[in-house]
Amino acid sequence: MKKFIFAVLPFVGMASINGMAQSFESEGLYYNIIGEGEVEVVAPPKDSGATYEGVVCIPERVEHGDATYAVVRIGDSAFKDTDVTDVQIPNTVSSLGNGVFDSALRLANVTLPMGITSVPAAMFEKTAIKAVAIPDGVTLVGEGAFQACESLESVFLPSTLQKIEAYGFNGCQQLREIYCLAATPPEATGWAIFLGLSGIDLLVPEESMDEYGEATPWSDSETFTIYPPESVEISLPASTDHGDWVALPLGMNFAYKIYDGSELIAVTAADSYW
């Protein structure tokens, strides 16, 4: 798999952080050992002078000493206030911390792992993403997860989604479409989830249109116009052998499925995949 990890590292090759045996750096990323053969990606230590920037393709596994560790988690605020632009998270990751990308102002593209069950609080707050695809299995979009994403235009929500918490999409003034596969309208009754937003095309399963039309807040005609999926073009055409890079020419109304042979390995609205 190609990796493009850019970091400013004054002490490249450092085997531990501040002498802590449970933490280490490898190829520009910092890790904490959190279990037998498992690590999480964390923010660089404040006294290291290091930062994350540019394109980051997180590996599935990382070697340290004589051991190989699976990357299973991204820690709280791991990329907060950094200059990352594109991040791809592997499917070995099953847990994401709060505020992972909070205020990463240049972040435009993210591919989420297939095994997560939530998009945690403040995860993408104040980022520059224009489109995001949330994979099946996710049941919760946490508080303020996409708050103040002023460039966000398109969101793809999975069939498994059950709830969007307060401030979920607050301040997303460019949001123009939500493609939601959930047959039952997700609960979205918390404070200021879509406050002040209008002109959003809501694409839902045709058999569920009436139910969305009666459910709060989806029934608010000033905010949403409800369509069946065929009313607006939705394309999921891309396919690539795992490990190959493919450019995904994204525009409004596009997301992509990535396959390794017949196995679905990613659903993304990013404009590239490694």
Please report, for the chain, the start and end positions of each structural domain, with discontinuous segments joined by +.
Answer: 6-273
pLDDT value, residue 264: 81
Segment 110-150, tens digit of pLDDT: 999 999 999 999 999 999 999 999 999 999 999 999 999 99
User: What is the chain's mean pLDDT, rounded?
Assistant: 86
Residues 6+ apart with CB under 8 A from 20: none
**Averaged pLDDT, 73-85:** 98
Multiple choice CATH, 6-273, 3.20.190.10, 3.40.190.10, 3.40.50.1970, 3.80.10.10: 3.80.10.10
- Choose among 115, 113, 170, 180: nearest CA to 145: 170
**Averaged pLDDT, 64-70:** 95
pLDDT value, residue 268: 85
235 vs 57, higher pLDDT = 57
Asked if residues 156 and 130 have their Cβ atoms less than 8 Å apart, the reply is no
DSSP letter (8 states) at residue 55: E
Residue 3 reports pLDDT greater than 70: no
Task: To the nearest 10°, report the CA torsion of 203, 192, 197, 129.
Answer: -70
pLDDT value, residue 274: 77
Segment 196-219, tens digit of pLDDT: 999 999 999 999 999 999 999 999
Residue 102 reports pLDDT greater than 70: yes
**Quick one: pLDDT band at residue 245, thresholds 50, 70, 90?**
very low
Residue 101 reports pLDDT greater than 80: yes
Task: To the nearest 10°, report the CA torsion of 175, 181, 187, 191.
Answer: -10
Asked if residues 225 and 178 have their Cβ atoms less than 8 Å apart, the reply is no
**Averaged pLDDT, 146-169:** 96
Give percent of the chain above pLDDT 70.
83
**Averaged pLDDT, 94-102:** 98
80 vs 1, higher pLDDT = 80
Query: Any idea which of 83-87, 216-220, 259-263, 264-268 has the lowest mean pLDDT?
Result: 259-263
Q: What are phi and psi of 205, to 5 degrees?
A: -55, 135
Calpha distance 8→31 (Å, rounded): 16
239 vs 97, higher pLDDT = 97
242 vs 114, higher pLDDT = 114
